[in-house]
C-alpha cells in the first residue's frame, strides 16, 4: 500500500492521537502517505446527557466504522476506554499501543485534592465510574455531569461552573496540559476505566494489508493488560451504564488485575483482585469474584 486514511473524531485530543499514529506509521514505512479523515460522531454532538442515557460508548466509534466499511477510511484510532467491550462483526483491534499514564487527574484552581473541598462544592465528571468512587470517598461533595471535549471541560471549570473536575491524566498529558493537574488520583482512590491511557487501532478484519502495517505499533504488555480489563467489562455486560473500573499490571507473563463495580450513588462498591497468565481468564475470574459479592444485584439496579 502507498496510502492510508485514518478516520478520527474532530476533537483536539482525537486529532492529536490520530496524527501521533500517522507519524509513527510514516516513520515505520518509508514512502507511505498517511492522511486523516476527521468527522463528528454522535457522541460528540450529545453534550446534555450522560453517555449511558444517550446510547453508550458506541456513539464515539460508529461513524468511524461506517467510514471504514464504505472504503472512505482504512483504520481508526481510539482511546481504548471509549471502545465498546464488543466490536461489531468484521472489525478487529489490530494493535494496542504502549500506555500513557492510566490514572485519573483532579483539576482545580482552588483546591489541591478532593479531600480539601468543602461540603457542597461541585466536582464535574462525565463518568459514572469516577462519580461513584468520588461519592463513596467524599459524600459531602456535589458530583455533577460534565460533558464535552477536554478543552470544553477546562473552559467550564475556568468560568467557575465547577469548583473542580476529574479527567483522564493521559488526555491532558497528550495535549501538553499536564500542568493543569493538581493531583494524580491513585488507582486505590479512583480505579481507572478498562483501557484507560492506551490507544487502539481498529480496522476491518478482512484488511490483512492494513493489519500488517499496523501490527508493529502494538505493545504486547499493554495489550495483555487491556484485554484483561476489557474481559471484566464484557463478562458483566459490557455497558457504559456500569460504574465499573478495571486496571491490570503485567510483570513478565503474569497479570495482576484489580476491578470494581459500584451503585451509581457510590454507597455500595464491590472490589476484586485476580492474577494469572491468560488475560481473558483473569478478567473473567475478577468478574466472577464481583458476582460472588453481589454484582448481579447492582447490575439489576442499574437497568
Q: Please give the positions annotated as active site.
A: 82
The answer to whether residues 64 and 83 touch, using CB atoms and an 8 Å cutoff, is no
Q: Pull the grid cell for residue 47.
A: 453534550
Maximum CA extent, the chain: 59
The answer to whether residues 123 and 129 touch, using CB atoms and an 8 Å cutoff, is no
The answer to whether residues 261 and 298 touch, using CB atoms and an 8 Å cutoff, is yes
Which one-letter DSSP state was computed for residue 60? G
What angle do the packed helices 220-235 and 279-292 form, to 10 degrees?
30
CA gap 251, 232 in Å, rounded: 19
> 168, 43, 65, 163: which is closest to 109 by C-alpha?
163
Q: Which residues pair with 276 in a beta bridge?
A: 255
Report the 10 Å Cβ neighbour count for 26: 14
- Continuous H helices in 128-203: 128-137, 150-158, 169-174
CA gap 37, 230 in Å, rounded: 27
The residues near 160 (Cβ < 8 Å, ≥ 6 apart) are none
The answer to whether residues 260 and 287 touch, using CB atoms and an 8 Å cutoff, is no
Chain CA centroid to CA 194, Å: 6
Amino acid at each position: 500500500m502507498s496510502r492510508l486514511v485514518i478516520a478520527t473524531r474532530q476533537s483536539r485530543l482525537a486529532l492529536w492521537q490520530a496524527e501521533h499514529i500517522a507519524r509513527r506509521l510514516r516513520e515505520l514505512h518509508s514512502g507511505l502517505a498517511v492522511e486523516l479523515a476527521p468527522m463528528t460522531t454522535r457522541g460528540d454532538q450529545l453534550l446534555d446527557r450522560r453517555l449511558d442515557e444517550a446510547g453508550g460508548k458506541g456513539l464515539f466509534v460508529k461513524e468511524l466504522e461506517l467510514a471504514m466499511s464504505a472504503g472512505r477510511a482504512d483504520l481508526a484510532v481510539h482511546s481504548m476506554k471509549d471502545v465498546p467491550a464488543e466490536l461489531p462483526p468484521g472489525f478487529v483491534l489490530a494493535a494496542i499501543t504502549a500506555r500513557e499514564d492510566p490514572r485519573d487527574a483532579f483539576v482545580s484552581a482552588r483546591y489541591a485534592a478532593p479531600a480539601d473541598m468543602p461540603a457542597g462544592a461541585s466536582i464535574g465528571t462525565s463518568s459514572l465510574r469516577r462519580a461513584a468512587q468520588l461519592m463513596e470517598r467524599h459524600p459531602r461533595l456535589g458530583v455533577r455531569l460534565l460533558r464535552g471535549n477536554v478543552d470544553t471541560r477546562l473552559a467550564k471549570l475556568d468560568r467557575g461552573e465547577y469548583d473542580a473536575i476529574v479527567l483522564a491524566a493521559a488526555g491532558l498529558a497528550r495535549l501538553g496540559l499536564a500542568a493543569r493537574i493538581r493531583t494524580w488520583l491513585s488507582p486505590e482512590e479512583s480505579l481507572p476505566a478498562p483501557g484507560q491511557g492506551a490507544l487502539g487501532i481498529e480496522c476491518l478484519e478482512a484488511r490483512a494489508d492494513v493489519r500488517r502495517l499496523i501490527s508493529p505499533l502494538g505493545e504486547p504488555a499493554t495489550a495483555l493488560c487491556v484485554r484483561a480489563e476489557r474481559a471484566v467489562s464484557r463478562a458483566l455486560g459490557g455497558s457504559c451504564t456500569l460504574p465499573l473500573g478495571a486496571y491490570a499490571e503485567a510483570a513478565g507473563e503474569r497479570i495482576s488485575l484489580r476491578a470494581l463495580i459500584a451503585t451509581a450513588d457510590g454507597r455500595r462498591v464491590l472490589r476484586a483482585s485476580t492474577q494469572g497468565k491468560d488475560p481473558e481468564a483473569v478478567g473473567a475470574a475478577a468478574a466472577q469474584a464481583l458476582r460472588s459479592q453481589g454484582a448481579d444485584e447492582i447490575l439489576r439496579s442499574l437497568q
